[in-house]
Structure 1
Amino acid sequence: MLGSVLRPYLPARRDRIYLPLVVLACVLFLLYLQPNRPSYGYPLSRAIVHQEGATSDGLITSASLAQLALPRFDKLLKSRILDYDSSLALESIRCPHTHLQSNRDQLANEGEHVWPTMTVRQLQDARDKVIERVKERFGWSVREDAGKSASELDEMLGTSGRGLVFTAGNKDTTSRLLTSLRILRKRHGCTLPVEIFAYPSEMQALRDVKTSIDELGGVTWREAQSVRADGAWKSFGIKGDAIARSSFSEVLYLDSDNVPLVDPTFLFDSPTYQKHGIVLWPDFNRDSAANPVWRLLSHPCSPEAAWQAESGQLLVDKRARGGLNLVALEVARAMMEEEAFWFRLSGGDKDTFRFAFFLLSLPYSMAPLYPSALGGPRLGRPYRGHTFCGHTMLQHGLDGSREWDLLRKQGKVADDFVPDRLGEARDFVPPPPLFVHANVLKHTGYALKRGATFKTVKRPRDARLAPHAAAARASWFGSLRHAAAPALESIRQAGLPTQGICVDVWDAAAVDGAGEKVEDAPAGAYEAGEVEVSAWEDEWGGLARGFEEMYYDEGGVAGAW
């Protein structure tokens, strides 16, 4: 009966061999359209079942952690590493345009001269060395049941709850840290305990600055164990050491030149953070399809996964997912200890955290907005059409509606302030700016003074790292198919070699802008297009009002290296 009803709709018998393929294609298409599809995909061959929630209420033992971590190591070690040409051909299909948003210096140096020469054997050795070092750190090298004792593992996981972690350095670096801590304690009322990691020689040399920090209260100094690399201009490895070895089980790490706009304690209760127990913040650039990290870690490139991370702030729960987040931190730490290799892929410590989660096939949460560039109008003559000099990476929050409500209750913004929503994504509220990461001010600020430092913000009008889920699904149908282009696809960023270093962002596709290849564009060309230029203190309901005065009043400086 059923066969007679369906017969008119079935293909001829000779064509039915193709029916299973058609059905399979339909199933895959429907799976793709599912609204809860993860933002950061992982190869199905390496997918490992894990709990959705990040919280770990049960007891974590060396054996339980080994059962979670070692199968992930084994799967990666058994995966095939492609040669350079094969990988580039494949990843260029998955990430066809990411090179346009990649770091230009990295592409011109490593991308052209180093990445093509990395052999399969070199990549295998680098991967094996990191995994073996992490196994040694947990005591799993001989056998998995011979790991750390309960007390040793508990210390690694952290026993002191939530806290802020910083790293010190020379006097200039630690003076910037003092400014950030003064603002957190005196202006924002932040009471989170603080740990500062430094080398013994640094602690002895800091003296008065260290005394001023100690007077703020709730600060513990910890001795760094990382080894300074010979000839390195900066001790990048100390950051991985500090985060992994902190006594806090939940860490908000901040660079010394990073000043929060408000007390950031509420981030620990963020739904975005609690989903995976790890939040990374995006950098301006993406990784290109040519980066060997995709072949090394058997992780497919995608426009979302290609966003580089910026580690001026990092939020992590080491006990989350049965302790796997701690394992990821130790992987990142091991990568930093081999910086001669890994920093060729990441351009410093920052992306080793992201690579570590790739290595373990663990999803992570990424803050949802592209960073804004904060600075001021260029002094003197424009440089190739650029009339803006950015020196600060302005990073945003995680959960817009929740965070704006908190800021209104705290009196940080006007009661009647309502943030703009983005186009058709009416249920997406852009989070507020939270971190003033003045990472270039020490290079740029020699001509800057109070009243002329934090003046202008440049940011994309739609700063979402990926299109809104509903818009992305709708874009497959009808007229929206061409209208819903991937967010930020035409946004470019570069450091400009003038007045020290200046950071600028622009819309390369703007009709009246500079275009992709125009070098001597007229003044103001890089301000055209889908990039907003606005006065810093007039934005976000007054959240930033008075920041510059506060910064300088609490000892902030411009230009000190």
Structure 2
Amino acid sequence: MKGRGIVLVAGNRDTFVRALTTVRLLRSLSCSLPAEVWHLNDEQPSKDMVRDLYKAGAVTRDLGDPQLIRPVIQRRNAEKQFQIKAAAIINSGFQEIIYLDSDNIPTQDPSFLFRTANYEATGALFWPDFWKTHGENKIFDILNIPCQDEWEQESGQMVIDKRRAWLPLQLAWFMQQHHEIYFQFLNGDKDTFKYAWKALGAPYHMVTPFLGMGGSMVNDIQGKPVEQPWQLIKRYTMSRANTWLMPQFYISDNGQACMDFIHPEGEPECVLEQFDQVVPGLQEAYFAFGGIGGETRS
């Protein structure tokens, strides 16, 4: 393994399309890092998709190859194959990796992350999720680690130096390989990385800002197709003293799955910003490069 690169995983047609869109966006943002798109053996991309990814500067890699260090032969008995991320990272030809989910939409060239002080000090950058693991979760006993008041991990993006993180990567792979056990305690793959690092005392840095969300106010949609599905960004104000967030999930009158931030228990106030002012031109570029998602478009 050598060099730096981008690693994504994909499978069905939609995820390959999203991965292709992400790679195209990266190139439009002047990111020159090579990219690998990993898939299961029974989810082969079409010849056209392989060609399009190659043109965009990415190669497809089969996780079912028995010559790999950690091949993935069997599928998980579920729609989402969350157990393949660690294997894709371990099997990658790159030493230093920026991992991105196929639906992770970059807003700038992420190459700078390799040069940040926290990455150089630890060799692993992780991002927080909205929630915290319950204190009575048995994962703390299983891994013999202390229960701490801290955010769970969102593993849709990670920066990892495999040379420095080889052992915790193997433990994360083990937990994902034995998903029938560990996914009972953790929400899919995401926290297997953080807890693998914790169990082995390996250093990592958890990015501190709270998550935000981008979308449309359902009351403004009124059942009509939306040409620009991301109208607003909603985020909590920065408050380092805050220890709890309150994301709310519900179904709108139009039958849409919705998410919002609320603050009934002293959570920080939220701010609303225009999406196109925060990331000008992003959604136009996303759909121009073949992006899918958001509201149904006419």
Quick check: TM above 0.5?
yes
Q: Is the 8 A contact 1:450 1:552 kept in 2?
A: no
Aligned to 1:313: 157
Deviation at 1:184, TM superposition (A): 0.8
Of structures 1 and 2, the larger Rg is shown by 1
**2:245 maps to 1:491:** yes
Percentage identity across paired residues of the two chains: 32
Q: Report the equivalent of 1:329.
A: 169
- Deviation at 1:168? 1.6
Q: SS in structure 2 opposite 1:256?
A: coil
1:449 pairs with 2:233? no
Distance, in Å, in 1 between the alignment partners of 2:181 and 2:108 is 38
Q: What does residue range 227-242 of structure 1 map to in structure 2 within 5 Å?
A: 227-242=73-88
1:551 and 2:291 correspond: no
CA contact (8 A) 2:123 2:203 kept: no
Aligned to 1:303: 149
After superposition, residues 399-548 of structure 1 pair within 5 angstroms as 449-451=226-228, 453-462=229-238, 467=240, 486-487=241-242, 489-498=243-252, 499-509=255-265, 530-539=269-278, 544-548=279-283
Distance 1:508 1:449 in 2: 31
Runs of 5+ unmatched residues, structure 1 = 1-157, 383-445, 468-485, 516-528
* Inter-partner Cα distance in structure 2 for 1:448 and 1:491: 31
Residue in 2 aligned with 1:399?
none
- Quote the RMSD (CA, aligned, Å): 2.2
The answer as to whether partners of 1:171 and 1:209 remain within 8 angstroms in 2 is no
User: 1:194 Cα deviation (Å)?
Assistant: 0.8
**One-letter amino acid of the structure 2 residue matched with residue 533 of structure 1:** L
- Moved runs in structure 1, 4+ residues, more than 3 A? 227-230, 379-382, 446-449, 497-500
Partner SS, residue 185 of structure 2: helix
What is the Cα deviation at residue 552 of structure 1? 1.1
Where does the alignment leave 5 or more consecutive residues of structure 2 unmatched? 64-70
Q: Which has the higher strand share?
A: 2
- The answer to whether 1:223 aligns with 2:62 is yes
Alignment of 1:248 onto 2:121: no
Note the C-alpha offset of 1:350: 0.7
User: Structure 1 CA distance, aligned partners of 2:289 and 2:34?
Assistant: 20
What is the DSSP-based 3-state SS (H/G/I as helix, E as strand, rest coil) of the residue aligned with 1:241? helix
Alignment of 1:89-488 (within 5 A): 158=1, 160-185=2-27, 187-203=28-44, 205-217=45-57, 219-224=58-63, 225-304=71-150, 307-320=151-164, 325-379=165-219, 449-451=226-228, 453-462=229-238, 467=240, 486-487=241-242
1:179-217 deviation per Cα after TM superposition (whole angstroms, max 9, x unaligned): 1111111x21111011111123322x5232222111123
- Contact between 1:450 and 1:549, CA under 8 Å: does it hold in 2? no
2:216 match: secondary structure: strand
Once the 2 structures are TM-superposed, how far is the Cα of residue 494 of structure 1 from its aligned partner? 3.0
Cα distance in 2 for residues equivalent to 1:335 and 1:161:
27
2:246 aligns to what SS in structure 1? strand
Deviations 1:284-342 (A, max 9, x none): 111111111111122112223xx11011101000112xxxx111011101100111111
Secondary structure of 2:168 counterpart? helix
Greater helix share, 1 or 2? 1
CA distance in 2, matches of 1:189, 1:329: 29
Write the deviation string for residues 121-169 of structure 1: whole angstroms up to 9, x where unpaired. xxxxxxxxxxxxxxxxxxxxxxxxxxxxxxxxxxxxx2x2110001121
